[in-house]
Chains A and B, each alone.
Chain A
Amino acid sequence: MSQLLLEIFSEEIPARMQQGAARDLERMASDRLKAAGLSWDALTTYAGPRRLTLVIDGLPAATPDRNEELKGPKTSAPAQALEGFLRKTGLTQDQLVERDGVWFAEISSKGRATTEVVAESVDDIIRHFPWPKSMRWGTGTLRWVRPIKRILALFDGAVIPFEVDGIQSGDVTEGHRFMGAGQPFAVKDFADYRTKLERNFVLLDAADRKLRILEGAKAVCAAKGLALVDDDGLLDEVSGLAEWPTPILGDMDPQFLALPPEVVQLSMKVHQKYFAVREPGKEGLAPHFVVVANVEATDGGAALAAGNAKVLSARLSDAEFFWTEDQKVGFDAWNAKLKDVTFHAKLGTLAERVDRIAALAREIAPLVGADPAQAEQAARLSKADLASGMVGEFPELQGIMGGYYARLAGQPDAVADAIRDHYKPQGPGDTVPTSPVTVAVAMAEKLDTLVGFFAIDEKPTGSKDPYALRRAALGVIRLVLENGVRVELSNIVIHAGRRLMAQQLAGRADKLEAFLEPLRKSGDLADDGLLQQLSSVSQKTAGVLVVDTVEKTPPQEWERRRSLDFGLFVMDRLTVLLRDKGQRHDLVAAVFALGDDDLVRIVRRVEALAAFLATDDGANLLAGYKRAAQLLKAEEKKGPLPAGAVATGLPNQPAEETALAFAAAAAASAVDAALEAEDFAAAMTALARLRAPVDAFFTAVMVNSDVAEERENRLKLLGQVRGVMNRVADFGQIAG
């Protein structure tokens, strides 16, 4: 059993692609070697700034011999079938064996040398490697992420000779670009390779590089009584930028601490890939940074730290420039600019979006205990910072800058906080705002997105969700649930849809008006002319929708229908959310089928239902329900079910039938009262009392009696039982 060592050495590989490349190399190598019939003990890949490495231990010297028998067509089959089989196997007819009227091909092949398989595989891997972006170089035809300089390929200590587009394999690699020996060197095997690389200042394993960075960064901070601000994303990135990562502490001009810490930290991270530093036990940042260099400079890093500090100063001066210039501009001017920024071609400008969000926030405010005027005000200011210099430079600071600028402009904290946090929650791991004004604006912002894109039919499909609507829906759900907001979402959504339509109509009416204006002035436009009428009608339509009738007119049937699509989408997200918390998806469907759109109520109902079904009564009652539903369904196929009250006290009526009739009637009123009070546990208890009578009924009573009246009454009774239960949830949707 032998070792394979492969290294593809290239110019600098983008840091963000290295981890994926290591995985792709592992997958591609495994697939190809397995397909050749090889197996091994251990396979590992490494990726770094200039190299991809693969090492496989315990690989045999050759692939196994193969003996297999392939079944072919019947001897009686048409000639074409036999010809096809011969083509496939590459044999002639006299080489086939006939058994029981069927042709068989016996194929045996000698194993191939592993080195041969590897050489072919490497060529294939290089030519088909799925880099996110690849390039050609010079006059060659190969594509790789950056030019390939060498290929090292050793099997059992010997070079596997091959070439890929003129690049000859060998046993040679290189160390660190500046600190290494300066000469390529040969290696014998993986252990030798790893050791020699390290001696030439290359840490092969990304995990080792990360460790060196983290320990080094903490050490240089601790030496000055400081602490590192952890940033895992940055750590991942810088570990792909240096083969010999060497953290160095640099000084930052303390004047920049007057900037918001988010600005300083982001500027350092995005532009310079520096870690921020803080003083233990203190708020904010310390006037230092940690740069991860790729060299241990001969002067201990003094020149390097000074150089980096200078660059940082220039960067932060830029940020400071935006910070002071932005404060001279202010919200009115930014909002005016939003009129020229398209949100989406079919959904108008950002200014129009802000108008819609403001109206929505105002409508939602009372439901979340927020002051409507404040909610509207915060919404009106919420997108202004998109036109600011700072957010233009650092889009990640959207909201955050708006919050700072609003506070400086004297807005109340509730408004400034809402501006800062209204994008939240941005993902499943993000926190959900709780301040009422923020909740109103955050919900409005996401609902406007959802309603808009649903209105123009840009719904997510499969893995495609370009407008992040799933995230927006999940955001709305979490805002509602975690704040216990009681809201009929469909109403809000219908109102939002009306406002959007009104806005679009008004926009078109204005355009028409602008077109008619010169005609009117010239006197060419008759007062009662067609164009004039069109103009006044479109103005009126827009007007009708704009006035507060938007919220006063009850939802129309067609609006309910259209909003159902949206409701189902939200339910889907809710189902995913609850499933992640261990809740069954069929229970959500069973509750949603009732047509409720109050998420808080739905979740409470699902929870009560889950608890009920976990009891013996619940499970048995569900079985009883299914039996009843099955009978009724079969009956419904024949014609309408008998309607009317269930009779009791009939001659020869079994006691079990009477008992169930009383129990069903009692359950109906108890369930109604419990639902009215939203006491779902009580509703479940009321249903639980049906379990014994239902079981007894099915044991003792034959529904399909020969006596027509008896049969009819029993069907009515089962219909009533099903009806009572369906008021709590659509048990038909529950699995089990």
Chain B
Amino acid sequence: MSTVAAAEPLSFQDLILTLHHYWSEQGCAILQPYDIEVGAGTLHPATVLRALGKKPWKAAYVQPSRRPGDGRYGENPNRLQHYYQYQVILKPNPDNLQELYLNSLRAIGIDPSLHDIRFVEDDWENPTVGAWGLGWEVWCDGMEVTQFTYFQGVGGIEVDVVSGELTYGLERLAMYVQGVDNVYDLKFNKEGLTYGEVFLENERQQSEANFHGYDVAALKRRFEDMEREAAHFLTMKGPQGQPLVLAAYDQVLKASHLFNLMDARGAIAVAERQSYIGRIRDLCKACALAQVEHERATA
């Protein structure tokens, strides 16, 4: 049963291509996924670091999200430890961002006269990168399909210019558009390839590795290595005298993923948890501060 009136619902990859095309038309740079494991598309430096400072910026990209603790061995129809987010950042946010967003839904075949589109309060916060914003979860017939946020702060620093951020949950959206109940049944393309054929095995193997495989002591050591490395890069200078924020931030992302893996292994006691998050946040703040100060100094 299809819940959408479109003649032929978009395949998973056509959904991405449609969004790429749509946001490209809106003047966004279409970027590729970042090549480090992250828990959310926001963490891509093209969002977190570009949201700082005054320079305008428009970009859209797909980013795999890795959430080791959410793995269900491919047995849960809705939960994955690896899935995709479609991320749009517009800085400063245009006045008609809501309209632009609704038109993107129309572009992928969701008709607001048939469906119940709602902007429901959801103030977004990511404590590990010290970022926060106000906005909504956008609901389509009761399902959260997008996080819509006006960034207010990043890395613990209040932003100079407000960015509008859209995060579409691609699998959910595709399931909705295709009228499919199980993520693994999604049509990946028009050739009959399913999402399950592409990713089910990955879920099975990675779930086992996440929950039972990783050597906790080694994760901990690597976390500490990355932490040191990040701090080290922040003391270095690049050829134009700039701080090595991008390199340092890469290490922060790696440390953050290592933390998530330790967490999935159940190796983080409640009391330790805040301390780990605090360590990552402090590094992230240091990156943000270095970037902002450098931009101010060179402005």
Contact = CB atoms under 8 A, between A and B. Distances in A.
B273 to A, nearest CB: 10
A430 interface: no
A136 interface: yes
B97 to A, nearest CB: 8
Contacts of B16: none
B108 interface: no
A136 B270 contact: no
Interface in A253-309: 272, 274, 291, 293-295, 297-299, 303-304, 306-308
Given A295-B116, A299-B114, A137 B93 contact: yes
Given A178-B113, A297-B115, A298-B114, A303 B98 contact: no
A304 B115 contact: yes
Interface in B227-277: 269-271
A321 B120 CA distance: 26
A14 interface: yes
A139 B161 CA distance: 5
A679 interface: no
The interface centre, meaning the residue of B1, B135, B136, B142 with most chain A CB atoms within 10 A of its CB, is B142
A311 B141 contact: yes
A15 B139 CA distance: 15
Interface in B94-124: 94-95, 98, 112-121, 123
A170 to B, nearest CB: 15
A178 B112 contact: yes
B269 A11 contact: no
A311 B115 CA distance: 13
B134 A146 contact: yes
Interface string A339-357: 0111000000000000000
Interface in B112-167: 112-121, 123, 133-136, 140-143, 150, 152, 161-162
Contacts of A341: 270
A136 B142 contact: no
B216 interface: no
Given A15-B121, A241-B120, A291-B142, A307 B115 contact: yes
Interface residues of B, number: 40
A21 to B, nearest CB: 13
B99 to A, nearest CB: 10
Interface size classification for chain A: 35 or more
A308 B176 CA distance: 11
B4 A311 contact: no
A312 interface: yes
B92 interface: yes
A304 B270 contact: no
Nearest to A321: B76
B218 interface: no
A135 interface: yes
Contact of A307 (B95, B141, B271): B141
A272 B94 CA distance: 30
Given A135-B134, A146-B134, A307-B3, A293 B116 contact: yes
B152 A136 contact: yes
Contact of A308 (B93, B123, B142, B271): B142
A431 to B, nearest CB: 32
Interface in B29-47: none
A14 B135 CA distance: 9
B142 A303 contact: no
B2 to A, nearest CB: 9
B76 A138 contact: no
- Most chain A Cβ neighbours within 10 Å, of B112, B115, B141: B141
Nearest to B2: A303
B189 interface: no
Given A12-B136, A138-B161, A139-B161, A303 B114 contact: yes
A107 interface: no
A308 B118 contact: no
B143 A138 contact: no
B213 to A, nearest CB: 21
Contact of B181 (A293, A295, A310): A310
The 7 lowest CB-CB distance pairs between A and B, nearest first, are: A307-B141, A14-B121, A12-B119, A293-B116, A135-B134, A308-B142, A311-B142
11 contacts: A16-B121, A135-B133, A138-B92, A146-B135, A177-B112, A242-B118, A297-B113, A297-B114, A307-B142, A308-B116, A314-B77
Interface of A: 11-12, 14-16, 133-139, 145-147, 149, 177-179, 241-242, 272, 274, 291, 293-295, 297-299, 303-304, 306-308, 310-314, 317-318, 321, 340-342
Given A311-B142, A340-B270, 18 more contacts: A11-B98, A12-B120, A12-B136, A138-B93, A139-B161, A139-B162, A146-B135, A147-B95, A147-B150, A177-B117, A291-B116, A295-B112, A297-B116, A304-B115, A307-B176, A310-B3, A310-B141, A317-B78
